[in-house]
Amino acid sequence: MPPNSSHTGGCQCGAVRFGVTRLGRPSICHCRMCQKAFGSFFGPLVTAHNAVWTRGEPKWFQSSNAARRAFCGDCGTPLGYETRFGLELAIGAFDDPSVAAPQIQVNLADKLPFFDGLTSLPVSTHQSDEWRDFLAGIHSNQHPDHDTADWPPQREDS
């Protein structure tokens, strides 16, 4: 593991990786910019006091006059949010997202009206044979949840 990286993570394709040893308070942000940046109902972020990019560099989008957002230029994975107060990393981009379980919600004015009821939705456990066959045939090209010397792996010629 690189120095300064007791917690590691990165994008889906592996082109951009990070490490950090000092995490701040994890949160979920309901603001509309986070919803759009993550393509989700909220943005899960944790303050990263000493993060370093350990492979590649993210691309940045200036989402407002006060903030810019980091993402992988190859696969589009949201990676972070930066203001004059510092960098926050996307919790889902960590190799072990459980290191940053959210402790607070912020920007409730934009919270979607159905958000609080999501955990009470019915759960479907039925899987058709067709769906099971589909899932069994999937080969993931996603970077594994740990640092690698190289990515993507070199394929041996047959």
CA–CA distance, 3 with 46 (Å, rounded to integer): 20
Range of the domain at 39: 7-116
128 domain-assigned: no
Give the pLDDT confidence of 60-101 residue by residue, as tens digits.
Answer: 999 999 999 999 999 999 999 999 999 999 999 999 999 999
Percent of the chain exceeding pLDDT 90 equals 77
Give the pLDDT confidence of 107-121 residue by residue, as tens digits.
Answer: 999 999 999 999 999
Q: Are 102 and 91 in contact (CB under 8 A)?
A: yes
By three-state DSSP, how is residue 98 classified? helix
51 domain-assigned: yes
149 domain-assigned: no
CATH number for position 60:
2.170.150.70
141 domain-assigned: no
Calculate mean pLDDT across residues 12-36: 96
Residues in the chain: 158
- DSSP-derived letter for residue 94 is B
- What are the two backbone dihedrals, phi and then psi, of residue 55, each rounded to the nearest 5 degrees? -150, 130
- Taken in order 128, 134, 137, 139, is the CA torsion positive or negative? negative
What is the tally of structural domains in the chain? 1
- Amino acid at position 7, single letter: H
2 domain-assigned: no
Q: Where are the alpha helices (DSSP H) in the chain?
A: 32-38, 129-136
Q: What's the pTM? A: 0.87
CA–CA distance, 85 with 91 (Å, rounded to integer): 18
Give the strand order in the sheet containing 104-106.
Answer: 59-61, 68-71, 78-83, 86-90, 43-48, 23-29, 104-106
Residue 157: the pLDDT is 54
